[in-house]
């Protein structure tokens, strides 16, 4: 009986590993390689901090007129408000006045909750979401859960250090494997109703202009 039990446990473990590996291959193969919608105007652009090219892209989209407002979520952690100032100096003054900085979020669920609170306060009904391509799928899960009824247009950026032939690069492979695991956990938590509120609403705070 004990041998049968351990055989069963081993079989389940192998099946879980194989399933995870197959899911990873699917996840990696479906990471966006281009922005599908570059023209739709939205009420706001939302940038998630934490990676290269995101803030620059958000500012460029604002300058192009794809939205009238820009919300930068997650400032105050690795990205400080002072880090944004040099990047806004070439913007027209009226555009600088349309930038809002979220100070509370420290992770993707927090980004979604912080943005949802700001969108309600600002009467925003559609956003263009700017984050890294590998991070987009999980971000959309979190944002759709936090902002039901809000139209979300994904706008991925493609950091040069994240390689498309990811299996050849240990750093990129590790990054994508971690992101896939977080995506699976988020998806499963939402399915069973266990997705947590990691950012207390009372702590949400915005700096209205830079």
CB contact set of 165 (below 8 Å; sequence gap of 6+): none
Question: Is residue 24 assigned to a domain?
Answer: no
The answer to whether 112 and 147 have CB atoms below 8 angstroms apart is yes
Question: Is residue 166 assigned to a domain?
Answer: no
pTM above 0.85, yes or no: no
Q: Is the pLDDT score of 178 beyond 80?
A: yes
- Quick: pLDDT tens for 48-94: 988 778 988 999 999 999 999 999 998 765 555 555 655 666 777 77
Tokens coding 62: 């604002």
Question: Is residue 46 assigned to a domain?
Answer: yes
Question: Is residue 12 assigned to a domain?
Answer: no
Question: Is residue 81 assigned to a domain?
Answer: yes
CATH number at residue 52: 3.40.50.620
Question: Is residue 128 assigned to a domain?
Answer: yes
Number of structural domains in the chain? 1
């Amino acid at each position: 009986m004990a041998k049968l039990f351990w055989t069963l446990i081993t079989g389940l473990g192998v099946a879980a590993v194989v399933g995870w590996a197959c899911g990873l291959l699917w996840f990696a193969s479906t990471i966006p390689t281009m922005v599908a919608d570059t023209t739709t105007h939205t009420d706001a652009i939302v940038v998630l901090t934490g990676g290269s090219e995101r803030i620059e892209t958000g500012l460029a989209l604002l300058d192009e007129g794809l939205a009238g407002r820009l919300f930068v979520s997650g400032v105050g952690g690795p990205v400080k408000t002072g880090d944004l100032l040099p990047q806004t100096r070439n913007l027209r003054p009226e555009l600088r006045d349309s930038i809002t900085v979220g100070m509370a979020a420290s992770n993707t669920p927090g980004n979604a909750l912080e943005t949802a609170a700001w969108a309600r306060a600002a009467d925003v009904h559609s956003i263009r979401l700017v984050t890294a391509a590998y991070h987009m799928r999980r971000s959309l899960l979190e944002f759709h859960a936090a902002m039901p009824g809000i139209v979300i247009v994904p706008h991925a950026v493609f950091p040069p250090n994240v390689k498309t032939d990811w299996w050849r690069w240990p750093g990129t492979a590790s990054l994508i494997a971690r992101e896939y695991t977080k995506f699976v956990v988020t998806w499963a938590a939402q399915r069973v109703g266990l997705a947590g509120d990691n950012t207390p609403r009372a702590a949400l705070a915005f700096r209205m202009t830079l």
